[in-house]
Amino acid sequence: MSQDGVDLERSLGYLLKEASSALRAAMEEVLRPLGMTVTHYSCLELLAQRPGLSNSELARGAFVTRQSMNVLLQALERDGYVTRPAAPPAGKALPTRLTPRGRRSLEKASAAVRSVEVRMLAGLSGDDQSEAVRILRSMIQSLRA
């Protein structure tokens, strides 16, 4: 290995990517024994917090395309984790809901993911966490503009 970074360790953009990547890896690690992927979990978690989300809304929330989310939803529906009405109640959007089975499956995954987040925040005070939320929100808003 070469010498460590000069500029890189000071670049917020790089640190952001690094942290996000490490978080995803840690999540994959704890979700794999449960036979679940990160997108899989994200979808269930989104549905638990906001029942009735459409395919497109779930895709945006899980940071994948509508097409990818659609194949995932078809699998989840086939296996009985979620339900969608046969016909759209309005427009074209199909509101999706968790089944009891989906809810049970989510509980285990949620506990696993929560443990990862706890570990991630181990060295941070409550104030630090509030600051982090504020700063990240500011970054997101500025980038969207």
From the list its own copies, DNA, none, partner contacted by residue 65 (C-beta under 5 to 8 A by kind) = DNA
> Please, what is the minimum distance in Å from the beta carbon of residue 69 to its own copies?
15
Single out the residue of 3, 4, 49, 92 in contact with DNA (rule: CB under 7 A): 92
Rounded Cα distance between 89 and 10, Å, is: 51
What character string, x for contact with DNA (CB under 7 A) and - otherwise, covers 43-62?
Answer: -----------xxxx-----
How many angstroms separate the Cα of 95 from the Cα of each of 47, 87, 102, 123? 10, 10, 15, 40
26/34 with CB nearer its own copies: 26
Sign of CA dihedral 71, 74, 80, 85: positive
Based on DSSP, count helices (H) and strands (E) in the chain, helices before strands. Answer: 6, 2
Single out the residue of 5, 51, 80, 88 in contact with DNA (rule: CB under 7 A): 88
> Please, what is the minimum distance in Å from the beta carbon of residue 138 to DNA?
24
How many angstroms separate the Cα of 89 from the Cα of each of 6, 41, 43, 54? 57, 26, 21, 12
Q: Should residue 105 be labelled a site residue for DNA when binding is judged by CB under 7 A?
A: no
CB atoms closer than 10 angstroms to residue 29: 11
Interacting residues with its own copies (CB under 8 A): 1-3, 5-13, 15-27, 46, 49-50, 52-53, 57, 61, 63, 113, 116-117, 119-124, 128-129, 131-133, 135-145
Contact, 58 vs 46, CB < 8 A? yes
The footprint of DNA (CB under 7 A) covers 1, 37, 39, 54-57, 64-68, 70-72, 88, 90-94
